[in-house]
Structure 1
């Protein structure tokens, strides 16, 4: 069967695949020179037409189609699906459905038209907006171009003016240089003319020198030394002119002048000779008057430095010192008095300065009245521990600070700002109430304007309440009493008022001048009255400060933060502290990198009475140190270097304190009789370290003292471990932890590290450890006494004492001592105790007994035996 006959279907056109496919062969090339022959087929698209014939078939294969005859259209009734004619009801229903469909179509068309209109409107608005923006941008570009053109013109004008000024300056400099050169040339010509005149006069004198000398000799007049010297010079010159051999004036011997002619005189030698002749002839010009200077003299200055400042030779200064009776070298240091005498000898004026002068000008001058503006009052909250100071401040701030303090007590000074109303604010300092923080409370009272004394209504006046009253009186600040805990049963405000009278605090209820307010931090009772009282007191004080100046204030607290470095809480007292300011705080300085307010938010500046945390210090300052903004880093370094040097000198002086004989003996006695419990203390903030150090120093007695050999802010480091290991000390961390390396070093060296977050626990454990180091204390209890009536030999025991018990009883298990004329001659154990011939354990008063003593036989009749026992007593500090 041929290919054309294949795959036919009921006499129709052949459906074979061979005719609809074209085949070919191509060669594919690959990398590395490889190739491959590939067969490619391309299929033709088949287009089917009516009647089953493909589009590609020949016309002979398609059958002709007869044209259809058109018939007139006659409407018929639509037939039902079953072929039957529709009824009128069905026709009516169908018309109704078609009408509804038409209505829907019209509604959709209207909705579509409305949507298109809306889109067209939005498009138009967008185009208008884009056109307006383009116009605005064009205006901005034109304005910017105009501004740039103006700036360019100004810059060109300034550059032109600067160039003209520089040109004028250069012309002036050239003119001045020309005039100077002409003056120097004229001066040189005058000098040369003068030199020629002097040379001629000298030659004339030389020519007439011999005759003058003979005439003077004939007259018998003695020759002057000057004339003799001139004659000798003339003779030497004559010898040189006649070929004499004056080798002293021949100059240095070299290869070029060996065997040659005599060396010519140099210009410098000629000038020296002319100057010498001018001096001999008495024709030297008038000497310039000596210039008097003002010499700055520090507390100590070397001889060389003094000579440099006076522009004098060091040898001249040494000669002057020798005249004053001082033998010194140029490197020796002189005090201010000696240096001032030397300066006056040279005709200068001395100006004394001190090392402390570097701090002059650090604190600015007083402000003018017109520059002052009202500021917020600084209020310090004081009172006894657990009287509700921080809770009261929380109620005012609507915050929760108590939960952040370990043990519910405040152990740092916190600074917060509270708004009374829209315009007025109050800055609060919350000080700890525990007895160990006396110094911190004193520091808080020193910077405050008003003191709020918190007294619990159910507890009354307590020891720290009295201390707070004393601090407020010492600072001279007004006092407002807040009687707290009025919501508790048993709260008696009248009792508090009466107890305050004992300490000279008279409240307004008793016709005094001290305001008192009954408050409750829990219920909020009386808080508005307290704010009103504070506002009234601040209004009376008329507190003002100048915000437009360099900032000054005090460091309230300082700590070393692991992530942020040294952080200081400062209270600005006047001026405005800004980011980028360079300031000095105590013996440390820094540049303000960030300012953080009491809410934890970063601010750009802090005005008067505003507390902020400052980041950027080089070290941790002391709490209570003053801080001030300075003009540059050099000034800051100078001030801090002086303060660090003073602190070092103070420590060295303290170490070398005992100088008198009495103090030396006292120190020796203390060292012999007193034990020391050494501690290395690390805390989170400077105030806590100071407070704990003071509390530990007061914890000892005459037998043992606690000594803090190192106290600092920050985590426990390997250096602290090494120090504790070398000093056999205990490391105590207050709210800090050691690093991993320090922990490993402590385990290796066997150093104990204790961690605390509450000051009570730390002090109690240190006291217990100090008691343990002292060991048990024994108290002596005398049981009985016996008189030795006779001493006799007792066989192997050696010697025995026949005794009569006169008081108490004699027990064998107790210690004994023998007294002779009330002097102890023996102290030890009783070896044997007998009553008649029987060994007994106890002999009572009024009975005879015999005793032997351990390794002692040198007793005799008349001695007294005293028997006692040692009772262990618990030690207390």
Structure 2
């Protein structure tokens, strides 16, 4: 028989002796109990009971299982283990399970066995000591019991304290340990004192059980909350009660109230400083005061104001509410959001030289565009003029010497005037282009007026010097008529003879510009938040709102948050005049900015702010202010509105723009208006020319708050629409005397009125009466003139004025009268004055305002 056949023979098939169900023996017994909760609630709970497996160590040291029974036989005390009895790795018998162990594993097992034997020896020693101690205590109790039996103590009603034997009662010994002879099951009953001790122990256990079942209050002793694992005994106990959440909340609230009363938190009122804007809701007001909204509404109802929690109230009403609650008020205005928007002035040590900003102005036919192209050709960085793509209305030229000049192109002067109307001083020098063959033209005069209004230095570029009929002397003589005196004639006006076509003397023009800039000492601080001005803005497809910005001070970088007029945004891209994207730009540098939420207006400020919230607040405030201004139409446009503002003292000069049919009429009107002024008031002619009223005249008048006078001329449709939109008043005249009469009335209103005193009469005090709630009342006789109620009075005593005021009461008998004439009696009382005596004289007079005369 082969080896394989022998193995197959030894294997037995797994079969059942008789047909029955193949299953494992249950080790878990399950059952269901009913768990009771508060308020009559109950729940069925499934409880599992697991059998406990008990193990004990045998004589050989191996653990054996004891099924459900405890070993109660007293094992003999083992003898001390000798050192020779501790096994060694070589002495371990070779079992089948140990055949494959390595020497290291055997050593670990031997070490563990040695430690177990030592621990067992120590436990046996401690157990022997405990048994000896218990034996001595039992003998002592026996001796005391015998002594008490011989000498019984006097009978007591009920012992409240357990005898000393109770305190020394030994704990029950474990099942595996031998019991002392006095506590074995077959031991004889203890004497009578031992029975008393057992009875006391039974009473104590009953008392502890009662305390356990009776719920206690308080955080420390609250047993009503079930904690820990759910057991069968706890589930079957019907006497336990649970605490509701409402009870817990009430207890916590009581503790908080006791704590507040102990610390006096309710008595101490917290006074807060409440920031109060012009308009605020009731909810916001209660939040800022940290008061209940209902209390604020009650306070408003007491004042007669019926308001809901979301209703807005004015600042005066809110201030009364705040004061009633005992807080302090800090009034602020909506315009406070702009406080600190423009930074402080820079110190001298932080200032650095910056390039000048030059605006080229002049008649379109005098070569202004050609001069701009020629100046661009001198840019070292830009190369030839043909290779330059002009994307924006401003650019910067770098000269061969390294100096830089920023040029701004303002066709039609509209942007230039709007910038000045908004107070933006961005231009340092104005280059006035005049053709040498044409001389001074009407639009050239207009450009001169704009430059003078901006109060910037002017450099005259006499262009087209390459033509044969060029006459620069004629141009200089014509400049004298407009109060511009060239240096060649003893003045301070710089004139340069250039030719844009031939490109001659362009370097001299640039040199004069740099010289003027050096005299102005132009400086700016680049190390601060950017501030600038919008030169022009437009909407482009694919790019959105694009603004051309001239940086005045600071540095503008990509990612900066900014506010421009009523618009705001974040810088997404910066494009210079050559079409190149840059990361940052410094002072006096024009650049295109992308990233605006809307399109601003030319001349709006451009300021970088710290966060988006500040930008939104400023933008919303400016939009709201502009909307209110349009709704209220507060602009001083018509002549009647101008008269009102003049009388209110807002204006001390009257600006006008004059357009006439012929030059003689215009000169005659100007001469008549100049004679109307004096040292207090005067008429200022901003611009005068021949021809109809055009858009440029309306723009200038709107920027300066002037009146447009048209003498035998009319405005074109575009100018009329612009004047109607900007509330600019246009007056048409055909007689010069009508012009002078209307403006004379306006100037008369400008002058401060003269105060003149007018005497009314005298009264003598014959008797003084004291009237309740009125004070002293003088019974008087009118000796001269008339006395009127509401007039001014002086009290004379011995011809000396001791009081000057107004009459509060004037009566004849019991009736109030308006006036009392000479020879009649009356009663008079003074406002806030009671020192009246018999024999005093009362002087009555009036104050009249007399308008000034030219």
Q: For the superposition of Structure 1 and Structure 2, which TM-score range results when normalised by the shorter chain?
A: 0.3 to 0.5
Give the structure-2-normalised TM-score: 0.43
Question: Counting helix residues as a fraction of each chain, which structure ranks higher?
Answer: 1
Structure number with greater CO (CA < 8 Å, separation at least 6) is: 2
